[in-house]
Structure 1
């Protein structure tokens, strides 16, 4: 079986909702086993509470866990056009995996949430690809075969670089059905790639 990890950080719930949709899409692919995990929080509890952060009982991951998966789909909110510091710290702690070449050839993908249409979610996804490339991962985006990303019916997130959503300046907007469909599409796309690569490696080992 091919193992897929949906790994996210979420402050107000938008990224967690997308993560659930990513996992839902990945689970439609035969041969894929999917886990959802979150990166550890670094914000003190009293600040989380005063800022209105969500309570999240999703199990936490450790950097070493990434070695156990064939594909990892990373979800992050946008912080000034870049990934959240919690996600960055998590990746910064994966130097041991980098040194061991433990992530080379695994599929990596990114999805994101931001406050406005031009709030940086594309920059966040693109810059998030950089450490994944340093790990030697194979990058998967959200191809235009997901036609929802070109719709003009409303405010939607997502791009060829990955699924996404627009939360609004006050966080009041929730992922649209198009956003969720994009996340499900990306999850399935990543899972299909991972299953294909895993099958090819297995055949090569047999040969």
Structure 2
């Protein structure tokens, strides 16, 4: 089985909804085992409560878990035009994996939620890919074969760099069906590539 991890951080549930859609898309590909995990929270509980953060019972991952997967799809909200600090902190703790080249050749993808269309949506998708390339991972985006991202009839999240949603300045806008369809598309796209690469590796080992 090709093992795929959908790993995310979500404050208000937008990224979690996208993560569930990514996992759904990945699971639709035969020969895959897909896990849904979140990174640890770093915000004190008192502040979480005051800010109205959404409770999340999804199991928490550790950096050591990453090397056990063939593909990892990372999801993060946008904070000041970048990935959330919780996700950055998690990646910063994966130095031992980097030192052992443990993630080299694994498939990676990114999706994001942003408050506004011009609030760093594409910047977050792109800059989150940077540390993944330092790990030696193979980046997969969301190609234009998902035609939903080209619509001009409504606000739509995502880009060729990854799936996404626009939450609105007040955070009250939920991911649309186009956003969720994009996430499912990306999850399926990543899974197909990971399965092909895993099959090629098995063929090489057998030879």
Please state which band the TM-score falls in when normalised by the shorter chain. over 0.9
Hey, what's the Cα distance between the residues in 2 that align with 1:95 and 1:123?
A: 24
| Contiguous gaps of at least 5 residues in structure 1 | none
Gaps of 5+ in 2: none
Q: How does 1:100-119 map to 2 (within 5 A)?
A: 100-119=100-119
Give the TM-score, by structure 2 length. Answer: 0.99
**Alignment-derived partner of residue 52 in structure 2:** 52
Report the Cα distance in structure 1 between the residues aligned to 2:182 and 2:163, rounded to whole angstroms: 6
CA distance in 2, matches of 1:81, 1:204: 42
The separation in 1 between residues aligned to 2:55 and 2:180, in whole angstroms, is 21
Quote the residue 1:7 is aligned against.
7
Question: Residues 51-90 of structure 1: matches in 2 within 5 Å?
Answer: 51-90=51-90
1:110-149 alpha-carbon deviations (Å, 9 max, x no partner): 0000000111110001001100000000000000000000
Moved over 4 A (4+): none
Q: Deviations over 1:37-80 (max 9, x none)?
A: 00000000010001000000100000000000000000000011
Matched, 1:128 2:125: no
Match of 1:163 in 2: 163
Looking at structure 2, the residues matched to 121 and 5 of structure 1 have their Cα atoms a distance apart, in angstroms, of: 22
Matches of 1:118 and 1:190, distance apart in 2: 26
C-alpha separation in 1, matches of 2:41 and 2:71 = 23
Q: Secondary structure at the match of 1:187?
A: helix
CA deviations over 1:140-166 (Å, ceiling 9, x no partner): 000000000001121110000000000
Structure 2 counterpart of 1:187: 187
Between the aligned partners of 2:183 and 2:22, the Cα distance in structure 1 is: 5
Give the Cα–Cα distance (whole angstroms) in 1 for the partners of residues 50 and 79 of structure 2: 19
Match of 1:95 in 2: 95
Structure 1 CA distance, aligned partners of 2:31 and 2:131?
28
Residues in 2 aligned to 1:8 and 1:108: alpha-carbon distance in whole angstroms = 13
Q: Name the Cα RMSD after superposition.
A: 0.4
Aligned to 2:20: 20
Which moved further from structure 2: 151-160 or 183-192?
A: 151-160
Aligned length: 207
1:32 deviation in Å? 0.8
